[in-house]
Structure 1
Amino acid sequence: MTIAIRVFIAAIGVLIAAIGAIGLIGYLNLTVTGYSFYEYWHFIILQPELYLFTGGLLMAAFSFIRSPKKTKKQINQGRVE
């Protein structure tokens, strides 16, 4: 995968994570209205914003994991002479 594709996937992942994080921060207002953090987490687990946030972070992180490159020895062994 080329570096341009990796950067594009990372940018999309960060964008998705930011959308999810904005929603999660917005739901923090529930703690002001009387929800405990225990009730807040039980509410958040059911919301799609949590999955957008975690999915976006994973997408951005996995976009920069490199596949192992072939060594010269592996390349020479695969060549037909």
Structure 2
Amino acid sequence: MMALRDLKQTDESQQNHLLKDFIEAPLDQNFGHEVVAMYLGCSPWTLARMRCNGSELPYTKIGRRIAYKKRDVLAYEKSRTTTCTAQYA
């Protein structure tokens, strides 16, 4: 697992490789918050805030490590998909 500061230092080909690994992984595979943040298009700090605020995105914490199941990330992404801005009203 890479540190938050290392994620900013990875080049585009490494980021594409990490995203490809996520997409091709089995649904039960766990991923660190850095990869999940890249996939969702947010920062790892946003995921940390979501964990503190009780977001709908389930995670596992073992010691100091945070992991997200691919299945949960895809379900969360699907739950956030809308077809009309009126759905937010």
Q: TM-score normalised to the size of structure 1? A: 0.24
The higher relative CO (CA closer than 8 Å, separation ≥ 6) is in 1
Greater helix share, structure number = 1
Higher Rg: 1
